[in-house]
Chain A
Amino acid sequence: MKKVLELVKANVFIVIFVVISLVSMPVLMFFSAKQNAALREKVEQEVGEDSRKIQQISVTYTAPVLDPNSSPIPFNRPPNEPTTEAIRAYVKVLKKESDAIVQLAQEHNKRDRRILFDGLFPEPDAARETRIRQAAPAIRAEAHRQLINNVGAGSPPDAEFVLQLLQDRRTDMLDRLASQGREEDPDERAQIRTKLSEIRRNVYIEKSKYLTFYADDNVFRGVTPWEQSFLPSIETIWSWQHQYWVHQDILDALVQANTVAFQAEPIAQAPVKRVEQISVAAWDLADAAPTASVGLDASVRMMPDYEASLSGRAGWPLRANPLYDVRYVDLSLIVSSKQLPAVLNAFSTVNFMTVLDVDLEEIDANAHYAQGYVYGPGHVVRAKLLIETLWLRQWMAEYMPSSVKQTLGIPLPGTPVEATSEEQAPPASTRSRRERMQG
């Protein structure tokens, strides 16, 4: 150790330089590494920032779809003019398509509707209002009579007419026997009876040949003479108007059922033999309280409500529905059991109508024949149908009186819409249609 110290003392500068040389290496390397790390961090930060900014140059394109059951498929990519243009053009075409579908649906639903009470809707002509309200019951009755006439329906031959005819024929036959100096014996009585039966049968059959089906203006339940001491209100008359349109669609559908390949079938071969009853579920518009406005937006997606109806469709008063109203019809028909599908199919060809329920009952065709109804050779049944008919509010609102609009929650021009939502959900306290009809 002493020697070492001596050596160090003897070569102090050399030792110092050697130490400096040796120590400087790791020290410099340490600082170099630190500097390198700082540089790396700085570059990484800068590059990372730039890279992040570049990655952020991206947008999400979402092309909408018209099918409510499909979801739009979004995709990310940098914004690009041709892509934007393609999406824009696609949306434009979809909008056009959507508008065209709405238009077609409205035209299909509206058809060639006739306003029975001209001058009353949507706002009554003050000068004519009372006169029209006075005449409304008669107009309504006449319109329904016309409806039956228009569809070529009618009743079997009048019983008194048939009785008179048969009596006349019997008298003729007896006179013919008397002129021969004879009186009717049991055989001749039986022959006369057979002949009179044939005549009766022929009269019935002949009448059936030029009828579309048996029906008269008594089949419309609720279309009865106005027996109140006051004039019907505007709301009541609107109900009559709407009910008339429903009746029109139902009868048109039954005509369609009896028309095969553009040719009308005679009752004997046609599916629908007789219409016994058409009953449109009543709307009590006059006493109903106003409903909060639900808007009139055709783009609102309606969620199905299977509590209210088998089809999932429901409207006022069961649930808020800005798109359409639902009117239910109970039908009682005598139909060919073999051709029942044709009857069920016919409803959807005329308008937005759906058969919700079918009940079949056996009938005694002979008992009907006794009243003059000839149904042909096939098996017939009584079919009780429940039909759902939809009425688009967008065109109906053009004719509706303001008070009816308020009741149904249709916004009046210039009033704000209180309740709109993307998807209309059924209210918790809805009662089913059947429940409502029952009580």
Chain B
Amino acid sequence: MKLRRISTIEKHAEKVFFALMALALFTVLTMQFGGGPNTIKVHTDEGVPIDEAFQRVASAAQSKLRQLEQPEPDPQAPQEAPKLSGRFAAALEQEPTEIALIDIPLGPPAGDVGADEDLPPDEKLLVELAVVPAPSQVSARAFAGTIDPLVIAAIPDVLDRSSNIRPEQPYDMRAVSVEASFNAAPLIAALRADPDGAGPKKPVPLRWWQKRLAIVDVQLFRRELYPDGSYSSAALIAPPPGRMNTRAVIDEISDPKALVDLINLTREAERQLVQPAFYTMIAGEPWIPPAAASDASKAFKNNLRTWKRYLQLEAEIQTLERRLDSQQDKRSDAGLSSLGPEWVAQVGRPGGGGPRDRDRESDTRPKETKQDPLDRIRDQIQTRQQELSQLRTTLQAAGIDVENAIVASPAQDALEAPIGRLRDGQSVQVWAHDITVQAGKTYQYQIRVTIPNPLYGFSDYIAEEALPLAQEPVMVSEPSDWSEPVIVDPNSYLFVTNAGLGAGIGAERSLPTATVELFEFYYGYWRNQGLRLRPGDAVIGELALNDMRLPFFDIQQNEDSPAVAQVMDTSPDNVPVGAAGWFLLDIITKPAIGSGRGAEQYAAIFRNDVGDVIVREQQSDIRLESLQRLRDSAALGQMASVLDPVGDQLSPASRPNAGTTGLGGPGRQERDDRESRDGRPPSSMNRGRVGGG
């Protein structure tokens, strides 16, 4: 058999096949590893690896979410609206700038005709001076707060003048502010009117008074209302130290130029004279103009209630979030985190052993009510966050700076309202402050305004009969009506909230006891403390400030630079308080007429500091409106915090924290504590307030 020769093809066929397969493999491997990744276009980005595409989208979504949830407004959003009305009002008041500089005559002088010569006048004006109408709508309001220590450093006379200010920090002070409305329209009408029609008397020429119309002083009169219903005589109250006082200047006016200087002065500082700011306060309810006090005070309290709820929600959300984290950690530890809620329900909770009692209970409920506890917590968080968001909107609309916990004055509109122009017959709201009030007394107030005398300086043109009218440089208005009585709070309040004669027989019998609630004004608010007293006990206790760390400031004064305040110390936990000289003498039963034994009422008998016997009944005391007011103040004092001292601000509208109140909150307190532990000053101190509830 002839051997068959193996052809070349046969001989190398497998090599060729192998080579081709190797080439194919190489091509596949090159395509897999050597070529570029599989890319697509995502939005505007070309060449995005396909495995990163969804990641890119997720990243874009996260970025969008961050922008959605960004806590700060976009920087492009306008931060502050221009105060155009103020500029407009100022422009209306301003003298125009000279429109041309033609201060040269266009021709030769006409001669000496009319040159000022000393000639005896033949005809003079017989004029009558209008009566300046009384200010109206007088309202007075007592208020209290803690004066900024920088104000005291700048105006130490406040300590001497005020009858009730605490002599050292905190400078708690009580004062009364009075507001009235002075309407210029009747005055202008009277000045314009011809006094006797066709008779010889003439109206005061417009040019004598039109540009002179201005309030150059606001006089505040006070009288004390005694307990027997009688009054003291009216006394003129001097403006508080550090506030504009023109009385000495008015007394020294001896020529028309001095009067013009005074008018210029009062025009330049009109608000300081007509609406003087009260001293800057660092703690206490904001100062509110008396006329706006009623509405503004209600709004302020409503806002505080909303703020309280806001803080409560924040705390609840924090608690829920902690619970959620804790539950998630537990589930993660049990290896159930990857399971859905339906699996968790089937295999039971970490720890095994089947469903617990609580789960069994839940199993008895309809199936559709079953919900994963984590989802339930998330729902609760979401519900609270929604409410929180609504409250934030409400608070911001009400002028509360939620981030910095500052309440704008509820009477901001009144503080910034433009002052009316007398020459246009508008009304001007005038304010005055009395810091010389004494604690526990009742006062009434009256206001008069002083305006320049339109005849002063024009004696040469006035008939002899009318000359006496031109002697005084100013005219004082008729007095306003007396305000409603204003009660200045006493230094402390005491309310009997419970009393009993004791129970038991013989030696086992317990002693009669009275529970009293003692209030003392401290650091801007009334602080309360309950005391249990037995007959013979002095009414003395200690205010528990509950670690509020209310700050005391060290005032550093240099000649070259304004004084600065630094926190030197914080308040002690307890401050001794008491109704000085008061003792509980006895507790007696006061039978109620027509009632059974159960209706017995008790009365506590005290001896006060001057030896009088005072009977206080529990039933009457707890119904007193003042008790609720003081309790409200005490509750507010727990929430409020202390503002940074900023010094004296002469104009309420220009104050950086005009009429503001600092608010505290648990969240902030925790932050402060944390920062304090780190050796850093509390952040709230840098922001302008320290302490808090």
A residues apposed to B, CB below 8 Å: 3-4, 7, 18, 21-22, 25, 29, 36, 39-40, 43-44, 47-48, 50-52, 54-55, 57, 61, 63, 66, 73, 75, 77-83, 85-87, 89-90, 93-94, 96-98, 100-101, 104-105, 107-108, 110-112, 114, 146, 149-152, 201-203, 205-210, 212, 251-252, 255-256, 258-259, 261-264, 266-269, 336-338, 340-341, 344-345, 348-349, 360, 362, 365-366, 369, 374-381
Contact of A205 with B260 at beta-carbon distance under 8 Å, contacts A150-B206, A379-B108 already known? no
Check if A112 sits within 8 Å of B99, measured CB to CB.
Answer: no
B203 close to A (CB within 8 Å): yes
Write out the residue numbers on chain B whose beta carbons fall within 8 Å of the beta carbon of A338: 102-106
Extra A-B contacts (4), CB below 8 Å, given A61-B77, A252-B206, A381-B106: A18-B17, A80-B73, A341-B100, A379-B109
Nearest A residue (CB) for B85: A100
The smallest C-beta distance from A326 to any residue of chain B, in angstroms, reads: 19
The answer for the CA separation of A365 and B114 in the assembled complex, in Å, is: 12
Given contacts A345-B95, A378-B105, whether A252 and B210 have CB atoms under 8 Å apart is yes
Closest B residue to A376 using CB positions:
B114
Q: From B83, B105, B396, name the one whose CB has the most chain A CB atoms within 10 angstroms.
A: B105
In the complex with contacts A107-B424, A362-B107, A377-B114 CB distance below 8 A = yes
Compute how far the CA of A110 lies from the CA of B92 in the bound complex, rounded to whole angstroms.
13
Q: Given the complex, which residues of A lie within 8 Å of B212, measured CB to CB? A: 262
Q: Knowing A7-B7, A21-B21 touch, does A66 contact B211 (C-beta < 8 A)?
A: no
Pair A146/B194 contact, Cβ less than 8 Å: yes
Query: With A and B bound together, what is the CA distance between A135 and B98 in angstroms?
Result: 44
A379 touches B106 (CB 8 A): yes
Complex Cα spacing A107 to B417, Å: 14
B343 at the A/B interface (Cβ < 8 Å)? no
Q: How far is the CA of A301 from the CA of B656 in the complex (A)?
A: 35
Given A337-B105, A345-B95, answer yes or no on A83-B211 (Cβ-Cβ < 8 Å). Answer: no
A47 and B104 CA atoms in complex are apart in Å by 80
| A112:B188 contact, CB within 8 angstroms | yes
Pairwise interchain contact A104-B418, C-beta atoms closer than 8 A:
yes
Residues of A within 8 A of B256 (CB): 263
Residues of B contacting A80 in the complex (Cβ-Cβ under 8 angstroms): 67-70, 73-74
Selected contact of B107 from candidates A66, A86, A337, CB within 8 Å: A337
Contact in complex: A336, B57 (CB < 8 Å): no
Point out the residues of chain A lying under 8 angstroms from B114, CB to CB: 205, 208, 267-268, 374-377
Q: Contacts A338-B102, A348-B96; is A79 near B68 (CB within 8 Å)? A: yes
CB 8 Å contact bits of B42-81 with A (1 = contact, 0 = none): 1100000010011011001100100111111110111111
Q: A18, A79, A360 — which one has the most chain B CB atoms within 10 A of its CB? A: A18
B485 contacts partner chain A, Cβ-Cβ < 8 Å: no
Contact yes or no, B73 A82, CB < 8 A: yes
User: Given the complex, which residues of B lie within 8 Å of A256, measured CB to CB?
Assistant: 210-211
**Are A206 and B123 closer than 8 Å at their CB atoms?**
yes
Which A residue sits closest to B120, measured CB to CB? Answer: A206
B207 close to A (CB within 8 Å): yes
- The answer, among A25, A96, A378, for a CB contact under 8 Å with B24, is A25
Q: Check: B374 CB closer than 8 A to any chain A CB.
A: no
Most B CB contacts (10 A, CB to CB) among A66, A78, A269 go to: A78
* Chain A interface, >50% SS class: helix
Assuming A18-B17, A21-B17, A268-B116, is B211 touching A262 (CB within 8 A)? yes
CB contacts (< 8 Å) of B264 on chain A: these are 261-262
Taking the nearest CB of chain A, how far is it from the CB of B416, in angstroms? 9
Question: Contacts A54-B61, A262-B260 known; A202 to B96 CB distance under 8 Å?
Answer: no
Quick one: which of A94, A151, A205 contacts B205, CB cutoff 8 A? A151
Contacts of A207 in B (CB 8 A): 122-123
The answer to whether B99 and A345 have CB atoms under 8 Å apart is yes
Residue of B nearest to A268 (CB): B114
A90-B81 contact in complex given A43-B40, A47-B57, A112-B424, C-beta closer than 8 Å: yes
B124 contacts partner chain A, Cβ-Cβ < 8 Å: yes
Specify which of A4, A78, A202 is in contact with B9 (CB 8 Å cutoff): A4
Chain B interface, number of residues (Cβ within 8 angstroms): 106
For the complex, give the distance between the alpha carbons of A112 and B42 in Å: 70
Contact B74 A75 (CB under 8 A): yes
Q: Which of A78, A81, A150, A340 is B192 in contact with, Cβ under 8 Å? A: A150
Is there contact, CB below 8 Å, between A108 and B92? yes
Contact of B192 with A94 in the complex, beta carbons under 8 Å: no
Given contacts A108-B92, A256-B211, A379-B106, whether A212 and B43 have CB atoms under 8 Å apart is no
A96–B412 alpha-carbon span in the complex (Å):
12
What is the CA–CA distance of A393 and B204 in the complex, to the nearest angstrom?
Answer: 32
- Whether B203 lies near A149 (C-beta < 8 A) is yes
A contact residues around B82 at 8 Å (CB): 66, 97
Which of A7, A51, A201, A340 counts the most B-chain CB atoms under 10 A from its CB?
Answer: A51
The reply to whether B57 and A341 form a contact with Cβ atoms under 8 Å apart is no
The answer to whether A205 and B57 touch across the interface, beta carbons within 8 angstroms, is no
Interface residue? B185 (CB, 8 A): yes
A-B CB contact pairs (8 Å), 13 listed:
A4-B9, A29-B27, A44-B40, A75-B76, A85-B396, A86-B74, A100-B418, A149-B202, A202-B119, A258-B207, A375-B114, A377-B115, A379-B105
Chain A residues closer than 8 Å to B236, beta-carbon distance: none
Which B residues are CB-close (under 8 A) to A203? Answer: 122
- CB pair B115–A47 under 8 Å, yes or no, is no
List the A side residues contacting B124 at CB < 8 Å. 210
Q: A55 near B43 (CB under 8 angstroms)?
A: yes
A256 to B212, CA, bound (A): 11
B121: Cβ under 8 A from any A Cβ: yes
Cross-chain contact of B38 among A36, A73, A101, A348 (Cβ < 8 A): A36
Closest B residue by C-beta to A109: B424
B656-672 with Cβ < 8 A to chain A: none
Q: Is the CB of B102 within 8 A of A212?
A: no
Q: Is the CB–CB distance between A212 and B205 below 8 Å?
A: yes
In the assembled complex, B507 has its CB within 8 A of some CB on chain A: no
B210 touches A259 (CB 8 A): yes
Chain B residues, Cβ within 8 Å of A48? 41-43
Smallest CB-CB separation from A85: which chain B residue? B396
The 8 closest A-B CB pairs, nearest first, are: A152-B205, A112-B425, A100-B85, A337-B106, A268-B114, A86-B73, A379-B105, A264-B207
Taking the complex as formed, is B112 at the interface, i.e. its CB lies under 8 A from any CB of chain A?
yes
Shortest beta-carbon distance from A33 to chain B in Å: 9
CA distance A411 to B228 in the complex (A): 62
B88: nearest residue on chain A (CB-CB)?
A101
Q: Which of B452-479 contact A (CB under 8 A)?
A: 457-458, 460-461
Q: Is B389 an interface residue (CB 8 A)?
A: yes
Q: Does B113 contact A (CB under 8 A)?
A: yes
Bound-complex Cα distance A104 to B110 (A): 44
Q: Are A377 and B113 in contact (CB under 8 A)?
A: yes
B117 at the interface (CB under 8 A from A): yes
CA distance A77 to B72 in the complex (A): 13
Verify A376–B43 contact, CB threshold 8 A. Answer: no
Q: In whole angstroms, how far apart are the Cα atoms of A89 and B120 in the complex?
A: 67
How far, in angstroms, from A124 to B93 measured CA to CA in the complex? Answer: 36
Inter-chain CA distance A14–B13, complex, in Å, is 10
